[in-house]
Amino acid sequence: MTLEGKRILLGLTGGVAAYKSAELARALVKAGCDVRAVLTESATRFVGAATLQALTGQTAWLDLWDPRVANQMAHIELSRDRDLIVIAPASADFLAKVANGLADDLLSTLVLARRCPLLVAPAMNVEMWSNPATRRNLLTLQDDGVSIAGPASGDQACGESGLGRMREPAELLDDIEAFFQPKLLAGKRVLVTAGPTEEPIDPVRVITNASSGKMGFAVARAAREAGAEVTLVTGPVSLAAPQGATRIDVRTAAEMFDAVKAAVAGCDVFVAVAAVSDYRVAHPAAQKVKRGAHRTWRLDLVENPDILAWVAKRPRAPFCVGFAAESEKLGEHARAKRRRKGIPLLAANLAQEALGADDNALTLFDDRGEHPLGRGPKIEQARKLIAHVAALMAAQGRRR
Ligand code: CTP
């Protein structure tokens, strides 16, 4: 599910990060949302209503007593047709108001009178963020079911540094998209492996597989969006872990195996996306092997353990999903691999079509046959995979 057609009320409160919300408004509109902006009086000190109006293509609202809304009921009417209210930036003062049910201007009144969910993106000075009063207010908001996106850490406009920066517009767009995903794996624990492994030959040389980690990270993100608790064990990649996932960095297949063994107990789902090196060098050199040391260099390779097969064979094994990147005969190899590994679901693609790309075309293989997902961004493929996993698990549960 994308953001196409979603109706968002974007509220801006007083903070220098308000200028970034103009960018967020633009990104939401580009994603197909209907965006209605409401600004507090202090927000207008940082960004003009005309900017939001131009970017959203709609009136930006400021005043509780705006006569353009029927019956002077702006505080009710403006949120009734909305799917979500997003407050970005949400100042410390505004969060305090919402936590305590205060309603003394248009935006706080709209929030108090809302029927739709609320997501806030806090932005404030680091001391304001850590002040016990703000901590208390945040706990109250969480108890009240308000979603909280961020804040991030870093340099602040005031010259200080620490937690309190608003998340970047692109990150907030991801948060909003995540908010709308069905919570198909709520309460479940999901373990994902991603990326390549590196097997040392000597201190500077490795044997590795070509893998960007993008598909594995997308699966971890989709599982998080579906409400799962996610642990992501990853080989060396240059990607940021999805918000809220526990990331464990490893290098070799042996390290990945150890990390999986340590994390797998109590997991409901295991998705092995990693391109694990099937072999490692039997005796890696302690020092760099110099040019000319061998006329013909032969390496002895020994087999690495099959992590997925090991997990699948455990007593009370989690629901196991394998991945296969093949170069030919996709269906034939995928069906054989699923049987060999003893797993209920395998996702396969042609390696040459997916490697390093942002798109993929997965086919899922399970007991009922094969299910092509069509071509699309890896995150959308990952969401479809997670939906398929949830459906198979629900069917398993019904059969038990
Ligand atoms: N896998 C694993 N541990 C390994 C090798 C593979 O957990 N040592 C997992 C991968 O993460 C993937 C699946 O097994 O989910 C299939 O990986 P692949 O390398 O395609 O399978 P192999 O059994 O190595 O088969 P092939 O002969 O095609 O190399």
- Please state whether the peptide bond connecting residue 151 to the residue before it is cis, i.e. omega within 30 degrees of 0: yes
Q: What is the mean pLDDT of the chain?
A: 94
The arithmetic mean of pLDDT across residues 318-337, rounded, is 95
The predicted pLDDT at position 357 comes to 80
Atom of ligand 1 nearest to the CA of 333: 28
The per-residue b/e assignment along 7-42, b for 16 or more CB within 10 angstroms, e otherwise, is: ebbbbbbbbebbebbbebbbbbbebebbbbbbbbeb
Report how far Cα 11 is from the mean position of its chain's Cα atoms.
23
Query: Any alpha helices (H) in the chain, and if so which ranges?
Result: 18-30, 49-56, 74-80, 92-100, 106-112, 126-130, 132-143, 169-179, 214-225, 253-263, 307-313, 330-341, 351-354, 378-399
How far apart CA 200 and CA 249 sit, in angstroms, is 16
In this prediction, what percent of the chain has a pLDDT beyond 70?
Answer: 98
Catalytic residue (choose from 33, 158, 267, 320): 158
How far apart CA 208 and CA 112 sit, in angstroms, is 55
Convert the pLDDT of each residue in 345-359 to its tens digit.
Answer: 999 998 887 777 888
Q: Is 194 in the pocket of ligand 1 (CB under 6 A)?
A: no
The predicted pLDDT at position 70 comes to 66
Q: Do domains 7-179 and 189-396 have the same CATH topology?
A: yes
Beta strand spans in 273-356 (E) = 279-281, 301-303, 319-326, 345-350
CA dihedral 239, 193, 260, 174 (to 10 degrees): 60
The arithmetic mean of pLDDT across residues 16-41, rounded, is 97
267 is catalytic: no
1: pLDDT strictly greater than 80 = no
Q: Is 274 in the pocket of ligand 1 (CB under 6 A)?
A: yes
User: If you measure from the C-alpha of residue 207 to the centroid of ligand 1, how many angstroms do you get, rounded to a whole number?
Assistant: 16
User: If you measure from the C-alpha of residue 337 to the centroid of ligand 1, how many angstroms do you get, rounded to a whole number?
Assistant: 8
Contact criterion met (CB below 8 Å) for 119 and 166: no
At 241, which amino acid appears? Answer: A
Atom of ligand 1 nearest to the CA of 346: 15
Domain boundaries along the sequence of the chain: 7-179, 189-396
- Tell me the CATH architecture of domain 189-396: 3-Layer(aba) Sandwich (3.40)
At 182, which amino acid appears? Answer: P
User: If you measure from the C-alpha of residue 37 to the centroid of ligand 1, how many angstroms do you get, rounded to a whole number?
Assistant: 50
CATH of 7-179, one of 2.60.40.10, 3.40.50.2300, 3.40.50.1950, 3.30.465.10: 3.40.50.1950
Q: Is 307 in the pocket of ligand 1 (CB under 6 A)?
A: yes
What is the distance in angstroms between the CA of the first residue and the CA of the last residue of the chain? 30
396: pLDDT strictly greater than 90 = no
The predicted pLDDT at position 158 comes to 77
Dihedral angle sign, alpha carbons of residues 137, 140, 144, 145: positive
Contact criterion met (CB below 8 Å) for 131 and 163: no
pTM, to two decimals = 0.89
Convert the pLDDT of each residue in 105-144 to its tens digit.
Answer: 999 999 999 999 999 999 999 999 999 999 999 999 999 9
